[in-house]
Structure 1
């Protein structure tokens, strides 16, 4: 217990120094650390000036590249930002999933021998009704074909479609309750990933996206001042389709005058405010896209470029080869973004959407397309915006509470245990530095409850020191020498300290696994604090005490 060989001293020193270096960037501004600011979309003079100031400071920074420059990420309650609570409608998820299998149903029933139907199947009230022209002859074969293409939901073995015989030669296709539950769970996970890719396509923003229950999602975007932009990004379904189009004026006029398009077609608006007829069943969908980004058209105006995957690129080439001279529409959320004429087969799978876009609109549109289609529309239930001023007040109050707590604890330790209490105070300071270093190094987010976790950790670290010091005092009162009392005190206090901290660590782990938002922030800070408090109380304080005893060789510890 009292033996500190050179390698052990070196390890302790490296740990303390590295923790200090990880915590050091929190004392400086981002510009001083050489961190360039994120590109701002705001035209506010204050925001633009702050951006230019940080950029200039980053260019002039002399911060060594070999040193860490990551700071503690501040949560929504400390930095300010946007909080959104969103809900997913399970019924809409089921209906949208049925929409995706419509084309497979058509292809399956059109295979030779062709099964003749009356009308074009559509999803109505979460159900597809397929009316057969010759039900006595084709009913069994049609059901067999539909059962063969019946997909499973996500990673489960639950079938998506319930296929039943109806009256008057009708086949009813619906989503059973078991599949609806599996779809809702699967949709929540997909929705969270799509939201992250839309809001933070570069993966550099400190956005928190957590589930709540089976159908709700919480989004926290620290530092985001405008909730409208996020709601616009998430308010669009992102359903992208490639449909054959009919732009003839006569066909469009008939559809507008009668209020009904010919079977298998529908009338949609264009981005310019006109109208175009498109075939209801798309040729390709957004799931066929591998990447999307902002580009420029031939007139050097902002556009959106995207690339199809291998199978879709081949399919698109065959489509354009078969329909030379016809038109196809690129439809996003029910609006035709463009309806180009097919002059020749288009190889390679590279497609471009042009229009009257600003650079920011093109970026957002590319992010929506690349992120993919939302399984259902998001309903915004709750919205909160936390100003940076309120966050700064929380930081100030939390820091003040930590300093006051540390001061009072230090006074108590020195008053109770004398010089050895000073060693405990030194280890407490090292503990706080290591916590900040751990938060910075792991990229964890510090919230207001996290500050409470730091304060709690200070008390826990002191508790470990008090247990050890009281043991040393008892052993010294029993007649042991200082060295012997120190060794016995640490040995006999070890089990109690480990038991207390392990149970608390388990509690922090449970909070992290089942909690969300600020609760997770508290759990992370508490877990890091438990590890650092055991290290500082049982290693650093003991090291300080042993160094003192070996150098001055007191006959009795003043406690």
Structure 2
């Protein structure tokens, strides 16, 4: 165990040097010192509690998921019945009471209609999504199951988390914390973003984009009173529109949603007015082309989050899958909408129910106090080790320094985030590293008391102590992994430092010190040990 050939020494020293040098940019950052631009600069990201930033707690309304799901089912049923060969005619469609019901014009088509509905009832998952009953011989009633609703809400929240993550990534921030809390809440923490207004505006936009045909049969006087023909609905214009305060009636079904968008950019129209240029995928381009081709010289409304941006006339078919959205935008609002559309629509509205802003001064004070605590603790440990174990205590001290440098360097290379609990993990790592050297040195003492020679005592001391060190670190590693998997935010920050620190501690306290001790024994060949 004390045999270290040249290649092994070079390998160990090279690995140590790379990890230690990678820590220097982070040390400069923590010390508020500039780092040369010409040099590589892997740095540790500071968490919200150290760098300051914004904390938002968002809450979703599951009722919106249920309502959207019911509307989607109605449109699917109408389309399926219309495309059946021969066509199955239905009427008296109702979505009252949270369920979909409709009447067959011909009661003899009941078996064929049930076969068409079966794929919609069973869905694609493992749970039954709808219950189907037939009343009065020809009326179908589709009722959403509790399991299907729960699965839909859970899927919507998972999608919402990903959409929120994409939107925040568009802001150029680093290492945001975005996690679900409970069934319908999302915690968002963005380090370095002190003004949450832009973040709230970005996340507050559902970005549900729809293109719906204007109902030209609806009378303006009736629309102003909230009266529309069957099958239509009313949407108001946005506040900054020339038609602010007015509303427009549109056909409830048959439009196109923005689900098939693949691109959105802020641009300018021929009048140098900010607009948003959107691109559909192949399927969306085909549907948009069909919609505009079949309704030339008819107006259609561009609706965003339940408000009409504009209602232009379709002068000619819009082919190619590219269109422009106008609506009294500024450059900033157009760019924000483009970001929202690129990242996808939120499947459910998110309301901000809690907001906190953490200033950078608190984080700087936390770093300073944490460094003082770590410095005092390290100094006390160094003095104790040198006084107690002499030369072997010096080896342990040098290994401790490399341990901290390697830990910082590896965290920087992995682009991890340092939080306030992570600083506590540093202090714990220092204690764990020294504890390994204490076990080794005490074991060497015992071997010497038993009368073993110097080299045999050192070799057996490292061999026997290493077993206990590995066993202890394996249990700590399991605890760290569980904290990382089931924890969130600061708990994960602590777990990251703990897990990386376990590897660096064992490497420096066992492998490096053993190499140094082996070199000293080979060179000096002492007749006794002062341990």
TM-score for both structures, normalised by structure 1? 0.88
Question: Partners of 2:521 and 2:360 in 1: how far apart?
Answer: 50
Higher relative contact order (CA 8 A, sep 6+): 2
My pick for the range that moved more, 265-274 or 494-503, is: 265-274
Give the gaps of 5 or more residues in structure 2: none
CA contact 1:247–1:276 (8 Å) conserved in 2: no
CA contact 2:223–2:248 (8 Å) conserved in 1: no
SS in 2 for 1:171: strand
Residue aligning to 2:113: 142
* Residues 1:228 and 2:197 are matched in the alignment: yes
Deviations 1:279-300 (A, max 9, x none): 1114211211112122222222
Question: Partners of 2:516 and 2:342 in 1: how far apart?
Answer: 57
Within a 5 Å distance, the mapping from 1:212-291 to structure 2 comes to 212-246=181-215, 251-257=219-225, 259-271=226-238, 272=241, 273=244, 274-291=246-263
Question: Partners of 2:93 and 2:49 in 1: how far apart?
Answer: 53
The alpha-carbon deviation at position 194 of structure 1 amounts to: 0.8
Residue aligning to 2:145: 176
Within a 5 Å distance, the mapping from 1:536-555 to structure 2 comes to 536-555=508-527
Count, aligned residues:
523
Residue aligning to 2:129: 160
My pick for the range that moved more, 336-345 or 85-94, is: 85-94
Residue aligning to 2:402: 430
Question: Partners of 1:383 and 1:500 in 2: how far apart?
Answer: 42
**Distance change in 2, residues 1:96/1:172 (3 Å):** same
* Residues 1:187 and 2:156 are matched in the alignment: yes
Question: Partners of 1:28 and 1:425 in 2: how far apart?
Answer: 22
Question: Partners of 2:316 and 2:492 in 1: how far apart?
Answer: 56
SS in 1 for 2:301: strand
SS in 2 for 1:101: helix
Question: Partners of 1:428 and 1:125 in 2: how far apart?
Answer: 68
**Distance change in 2, residues 1:83/1:288 (3 Å):** same
Question: Partners of 2:339 and 2:33 in 1: how far apart?
Answer: 28
**Distance change in 2, residues 1:532/1:208 (3 Å):** same
CA contact 1:255–1:262 (8 Å) conserved in 2: no
The alpha-carbon deviation at position 435 of structure 1 amounts to: 0.8
* Residues 1:372 and 2:344 are matched in the alignment: yes
SS in 1 for 2:23: helix
The alpha-carbon deviation at position 62 of structure 1 amounts to: 4.2
Instruction: Choose the corresponding residue for 2:390, options 395, 418, 423.
Output: 418
Deviations 1:147-190 (A, max 9, x none): 2344626xx33243222224695432222011122223222221
SS in 2 for 1:200: helix
SS in 2 for 1:83: strand
TM-score for both structures, normalised by structure 2? 0.93
SS in 1 for 2:22: helix
Deviations 1:376-404 (A, max 9, x none): 22243433221111111111111111111
The alpha-carbon deviation at position 341 of structure 1 amounts to: 1.6
Question: Partners of 1:456 and 1:391 in 2: how far apart?
Answer: 20
Residue aligning to 1:20: 20
SS in 2 for 1:87: strand
Residue aligning to 1:54: none
The alpha-carbon deviation at position 81 of structure 1 amounts to: 1.3
SS in 2 for 1:28: helix
The alpha-carbon deviation at position 247 of structure 1 amounts to: 6.5
Within a 5 Å distance, the mapping from 1:63-78 to structure 2 comes to 63-64=38-39, 67=40, 69-78=41-50
The alpha-carbon deviation at position 80 of structure 1 amounts to: 1.1
Deviations 1:75-113 (A, max 9, x none): 111111122233334343232222233321211222354
Aligned-pair Cα RMSD in Å: 2.3
* Residues 1:108 and 2:80 are matched in the alignment: yes
CA contact 2:173–2:190 (8 Å) conserved in 1: no
CA contact 1:120–1:264 (8 Å) conserved in 2: no
The alpha-carbon deviation at position 485 of structure 1 amounts to: 1.7
Residue aligning to 2:59: 87
Question: Partners of 2:197 and 2:171 in 1: how far apart?
Answer: 20
Question: Partners of 1:247 and 1:199 in 2: how far apart?
Answer: 40
Instruction: Choose the corresponding residue for 1:515, options 482, 487, 502.
Output: 487
Question: Partners of 1:292 and 1:7 in 2: how far apart?
Answer: 55
Question: Partners of 2:183 and 2:442 in 1: how far apart?
Answer: 51
Residue aligning to 2:311: 339
Residue aligning to 2:473: 501
Question: Partners of 1:233 and 1:289 in 2: how far apart?
Answer: 18
Within a 5 Å distance, the mapping from 1:433-452 to structure 2 comes to 433-452=405-424
Question: Partners of 2:97 and 2:339 in 1: how far apart?
Answer: 31
Give the gaps of 5 or more residues in structure 1: 34-60
**Distance change in 2, residues 1:171/1:237 (3 Å):** farther
CA contact 1:241–1:282 (8 Å) conserved in 2: no
The alpha-carbon deviation at position 310 of structure 1 amounts to: 0.2
Instruction: Choose the corresponding residue for 1:487, options 459, 462, 481.
Output: 459
Deviations 1:253-279 (A, max 9, x none): 33213x211111122122311322211
**Distance change in 2, residues 1:5/1:480 (3 Å):** same
* Residues 1:318 and 2:290 are matched in the alignment: yes
**Distance change in 2, residues 1:126/1:517 (3 Å):** farther
CA contact 1:95–1:127 (8 Å) conserved in 2: no
Question: Partners of 2:93 and 2:251 in 1: how far apart?
Answer: 11
